[in-house]
């Protein structure tokens, strides 16, 4: 089995870190842009797309800074993470997404994240 690679994407976001964090770390916020339906129980988030559910455990988080999830069906060392940064030069909010994919799938996964983040920006009004 191929070892998946970690890749990182960055997006400039026109909103405060605290508002962005709510869209990344709460079921209601994630349901606005990431999945059709999101529920959470005991640090396990259930994401539903087109009637198909997938579960991810919340591994760690820090208010207004980052949140890291692990898909329950994936190897333990793989995760996806939303990290919120502030540019010291421009003072802009930066959303950094870290995820794992097979090398040949990174381009497709990047397009999927681009689409998802555009939906997030639409919900944020930015």
CA angle (56 as vertex; 58, 44 as ends), nearest 5: 60
Q: Is residue 95 part of a domain?
A: yes
pLDDT of residue 1: 54
Q: Range of 47's domain?
A: 5-121
Asked whether the beta carbons of 5 and 102 are under 8 A apart, the reply is yes
Domain containing residue 89: CATH number: 3.30.530.20
- Where the chain has pLDDT below 70, the residues are 1-2
What is the number of structural domains in the chain?
Answer: 1
Q: Is residue 115 part of a domain?
A: yes
Tokens at 12, concatenated:
């400039």
| Residue written as token pair 């421009």 | 90
Q: Which helix (H) or strand (E) holds 34?
A: none
pLDDT of residue 2: 64
pLDDT of residue 22: 97
Q: Is residue 109 part of a domain?
A: yes
Q: Is residue 69 part of a domain?
A: yes
Q: Is residue 126 part of a domain?
A: no
On average, the pLDDT of the chain sits at 95
């Amino acid at each position: 089995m191929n070892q998946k690679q970690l890749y990182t994407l960055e997006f400039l976001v026109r909103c405060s870190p605290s508002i962005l964090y709510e869209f990344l770390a709460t079921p209601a916020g994630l349901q606005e842009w990431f999945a059709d339906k999101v529920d959470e129980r005991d640090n396990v988030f259930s994401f539903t797309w087109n009637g198909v559910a997938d579960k991810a455990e919340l591994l760690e988080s820090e208010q207004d800074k980052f949140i890291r999830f692990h898909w329950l069906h994936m190897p333990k060392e793989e995760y996806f993470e939303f990290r919120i940064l502030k540019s010291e030069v421009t003072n802009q909010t930066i959303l950094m997404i870290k995820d794992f994919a097979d090398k040949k799938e990174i381009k497709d996964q990047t397009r999927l994240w681009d689409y998802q983040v555009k939906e997030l920006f639409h919900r944020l009004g930015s």
